[in-house]
Chains A and B, each alone.
Chain A
Amino acid sequence: MHATTGNTLILSSVALALAGAILSFSAGRHNSPTGTKWGRWCAYGYAATMVLANLVMVRALLVDDFSVSYVAQVGSRSVPTWVSVVSLWSSLEGSILFWGAILGFYMVGFCKQLENRYPKFVPYANGVLLLNAAFFAIVIAGPANPFQIMDPIPLDGPGPNPLLQNHILMVVHPPLLYLGYVGMSVPFSIAIAALLRGELTSGWLKPLRYWTMIPWTFLTLGIIVGAWWAYEVLGWGGYWAWDPVENASFLPWLAATGYLHSTVVQERKGILKVWTLTSVICAFLLTILGTFMTRSGVFNSVHSFTQSSIGPIFLGFLATTAIFSMALLAMRSHLLEDEGTIESPLSRESAFLLNNLIFVVFTFTVLIGTVYPLITEAIKGVKLSVGEPYFNQMATPIGILMVFLMGIGPVLPWGRPSSKDVIRGLLMPASIGLLGAIMTILLEPSTSTTTLLALGVCTFAATVTAQELINLVRSRRARHLEPLHTSIQKTFASHRRKVGGYIVHFAIIAIVAAIAGNKTWKESVEASLTPGKDFQLGEYTFIYKETVGESHPEKFSILASFEVFHQDSTLGAMQPKLNYYRSQREPIGTPHVRTIGNQDIYLSLLAFEEQGRRVVVKAYIMPMVPWIWWSLPIIMLGSLISLWPRRKSNALHTGVVAT
């Protein structure tokens, strides 16, 4: 029953998306409001059918309807309810179905927001979105159909990949990441609409920026939560391994971040137009590349789905979209000529341009590193690996340079500043940065030079950012007589984008500082113990008590109990686990992570003997890692400030109310 309903819904969504695309494009050509309206209704229809299809699948998973192929593949009678729901995105077919639904949500949001605005552009943008939706719907209907009918019907299924059942963050991470990935198709459609229409007015750039900010925020959060999940589950005391699939999520992030910066310059100076549009388009193409990397079976990764036949389809889609976008950009190149120039290498414009170039270099470094094993295999038939040590070596200078520019940029005035102004602006932050580095070396003499440099640059950039925020408030207070909190509130309200951006900068600085600090100050001990024995790490003592087994319907867990002391005071028990799932021989660990101040104690169980006669554990002290997770609310806050709609009076004032 579920299968038939699901297939009917998917086929309707294919039809609606295709019809909507045709209606929208022709409405755009003939400036027909009726056509635009019908196209929009098709988009709503697509969204409704897609969301319903997802609900049907969730229901099938919940009631264990193993006549549906996807349920037979990932469902299981023994898993808890939340795991059944999460199974929706735990494997290839379901994840694409889920993708389709998210695309539906985005389309509804986009259509609703711009319902009566920009009649010249909206139909084209809707058309591109619907075409994209049609592609995914066709993939779901055909090669990756999750609603195939099973015959004979299996009695039970294996359950989803144990790695996904093991931590509650898996409920949050994939949806966030998909909201980021899928959302990039909206700015792509906006950019393509502008190019198709052949007009690049700044008015149209506003929704472009808005609709890039939203997926950018989700993507950022998704990547960080993913790192958090890896840290809490994989048990090796790390959070980022430059795995191909991790890189796949990082690439569109780099492109979108590049866009968010170049758009500032474009709006202000009429330059960097090519950059702006190209980075938006690339962000979308890179999400498709990421999907390909995760699902084609061409890359080896912890996170990738099982091999499947949809690789060539996604590659074809990627190639077509890329070539089409390039041709369109070339056709409209006259629109992309810069209207101004950069007057001084010490200007804000230069800093932005350099920043953009660094984002491009970073993107290519990660991209080339990720595909390089394929290149050597194809050309020389040699199998190679490009992993963490390579990427770390490359990313470190690039990252430091980025944070440095993050500090320099806001100090540099637009246009043609005098060197004196620049030096005056930089003097204080630079001294504080230097002071930060000196303090670090005094407190921790073992710190590596690279970390020292990174921390110094982070302090510098943080000072500049704080100084800029303070200056904004101060310049308002020079003009108005009012209480301080009113000034802050008013300043933030009238400079949402700038303030939001600076707040996000703080979060990024915190992340970079945490990575740099953790790299040198991380310590670990591997110990093999009999009950009652202890080992030491830093100021902490770990005493091994006992090992117990715990039986659950879907797994069997081994818990090793430790008591942890800091100097002489007890910190209580820590219980790292190993989980044996029915479907998998290799156990999956659950390390015990305890945050104390700004460091984590991380205890991971590696092996055990019968009756817990002996265990092997690895304990880590992970300084500064909590900073990475603390950056999550800061990023949310910054993005919310940026995205918060202006008051109605403001909208009226701009003259763009509904017609």
Chain B
Amino acid sequence: MKWIIYVLLSLGNATIGNSAPENKAPNIGVIHEDSTDPSYQIGKLLRCPVCQGMPIADSPADMAQAMMKKVRELQAQGRSENEILKFFTDRYGDWVLLRPKAEGMNWFIWIFPPIALLASLIWVFRRSKPSPMETNEKTDTKLNSNSNDDPYIKAVRHLVDEE
């Protein structure tokens, strides 16, 4: 984490003309982030309170920047991801987590997708079984009875078969 030489700037959203906030010591700061940066990863999990559903890691808003700085600070103190997340939920509630905790009612949204996928797989396997001759016959007669009154179907079948 050597490359995190971070200087937070209290540079606000300067409104035109009058009030770009000053900062007396203009240090040159550079933070490098990539997908392996743990602070960035945590910042991706926290919702910026002044934006519209954005994570603090991506938001340029002052408050998000301040929160990002807090994340880095806590990380530098050696706090774990869970402790850092707790720091923010203590202040903004579970609302601040963009990924709900897997607990209580929230289990529903966590287990629904995997279970539904699994159930789909099982269902497809159970549904597909070699058919006895009799079903095939039934199919044929039904198809024919449907198609007789519509000349168009032949054309469509012709086209489909071609593919």
A interface residues (Cβ-Cβ under 8 A, vs B): 200-203, 205-206, 235-238, 241, 243-244, 267-268, 270, 300-302, 339-345, 347, 349-350, 353-354, 357-358, 360-361, 364-365, 368-369, 372, 375-376, 379-380, 382-390, 393-394, 397-398, 401, 416, 446, 448, 494-495, 497-498, 519-530, 533, 535, 537, 556, 580, 585-587, 589, 604, 606-610, 613-614, 616, 618, 653-656
CB within 8 Å for A556 and B150 given contacts A267-B160, A390-B99: no
Q: Is the interface of A mostly helix, strand, loop or mixed?
A: mixed
Cα A389 to Cα B100 in complex, Å, equals: 9
Segment 114-159 of B: residues with Cβ below 8 Å from A: 116-117, 120-121, 123-125, 127-131, 135-136, 138-139, 142-143, 146-147, 149-159
The A-B contact count (CB < 8 A) is 248
Cα A59 to Cα B58 in complex, Å, equals: 40
CB neighbours of B7 from chain A (8 A): 528
Q: Give B120's nearest chain A residue, CB to CB.
A: A357
CB neighbours of A522 from chain B (8 A): 34-35
User: Are A343 and B29 neighbours in the complex by a CB distance under 8 Å?
Assistant: no
- Determine how close the nearest CB of chain A comes to the CB of B34; give it in whole angstroms: 4
User: Are A495 and B131 neighbours in the complex by a CB distance under 8 Å?
Assistant: no
The one of A372, A519, A533, A587 that contacts B100, using a Cβ cutoff of 8 Å: A372
Given contacts A587-B13, A609-B23, 15 further A-B contacts (CB under 8 A): A203-B152, A243-B53, A301-B53, A302-B52, A389-B99, A398-B113, A448-B35, A522-B34, A525-B30, A526-B29, A528-B26, A580-B16, A589-B60, A606-B60, A655-B152
26 A-B pairs in the complex with CB atoms less than 8 angstroms apart: A202-B150, A237-B58, A244-B53, A341-B129, A343-B130, A345-B125, A354-B121, A357-B124, A361-B117, A372-B108, A376-B105, A382-B93, A384-B95, A387-B99, A388-B55, A522-B34, A524-B34, A526-B29, A526-B33, A528-B11, A537-B32, A608-B14, A609-B20, A610-B14, A654-B152, A654-B154
User: Are A380 and B105 neighbours in the complex by a CB distance under 8 Å?
Assistant: yes
B97 at the interface (CB under 8 A from A): yes
- Determine how close the nearest CB of chain A comes to the CB of B141; give it in whole angstroms: 10
- Determine how close the nearest CB of chain A comes to the CB of B98; give it in whole angstroms: 3
CB neighbours of B139 from chain A (8 A): 270, 339-340
CB neighbours of A379 from chain B (8 A): 105
User: Are B44 and A388 neighbours in the complex by a CB distance under 8 Å?
Assistant: yes
- Determine how close the nearest CB of chain A comes to the CB of B53; give it in whole angstroms: 6
Segment 11-37 of B: residues with Cβ below 8 Å from A: 11-16, 20, 22-23, 26-36
- Determine how close the nearest CB of chain A comes to the CB of B103; give it in whole angstroms: 11
Cα A203 to Cα B151 in complex, Å, equals: 8
